[in-house]
Amino acid sequence: MRKLLLASAISASLVGAVQASEHSGTYAFDKKDAHQFVTFKISHLGYSWLYGRFNDFDGQFVYDAENPENSSVEVTIDTSSVDSNHAERDKHLRSEDFLYVDEHAEATFKSTRIELDDDGNEADIIGDFTLRGVTKEITLEAELLGHGDDPWGGYRMGFEAETELKLADFGIPMDLGKASETVHIEISVEGIRQ
């Protein structure tokens, strides 16, 4: 009986390891079908929120299911694709006062380490974020939303993450007042395993 229980435990462990490794791999962002978003909000005078997004960005993540802390993320954002639903404001956001897209056409993020919470579904993704030519370490608070087969024979995995950035930390010279020193960023991506 003891041998049977031991064999069952070993078998269960092996099945668990195989299942865990089944969703390991490199995932490209689903840019084609637009199942990805980088959105932001910033206070307007402390009275309301101004919302916007970047329409063009790409990236990938490598997910190691057996050792998730060894996973990694890379993202590249076309800063000229900023969209706040107001053409004149977007023109200003692209100027030297803010994103200065003529000189800095891209913003990038590359993870350097990942710190997991106890249940493994949430993590701090720490990495180098470059905006306007300035690179700073930031932390993305990320959550695994789910993973599994898709209807087209592929395998997908989705994450959501958020962070806050101080405009002055990235050399943005425009002073919008005390209430608007920080911008809130939210990222939602669905990756397709390659």
pLDDT tens-digit map of 163-191: 999 999 999 999 999 999 999 999 999 99
What is residue 120's predicted lDDT score, i.e. its pLDDT? 65
The phi, psi pair for 141, rounded to 5°, reads: -85, 110
Structure tokens at 164: 């806050």
What is residue 8's predicted lDDT score, i.e. its pLDDT? 36
Q: Using alpha carbons, list the distances in angstroms from residue 55 to 34, 58, 139, 176, 184.
A: 9, 10, 22, 24, 17
Residues of the chain with pLDDT under 70: 1-21, 120
What is residue 14's predicted lDDT score, i.e. its pLDDT? 32
* Domain ranges across the chain: 25-193
What is residue 32's predicted lDDT score, i.e. its pLDDT? 84
Fold of 25-193: Lipocalin (2.40.128)
The terminus-to-terminus CA distance of the chain in angstroms comes to 44
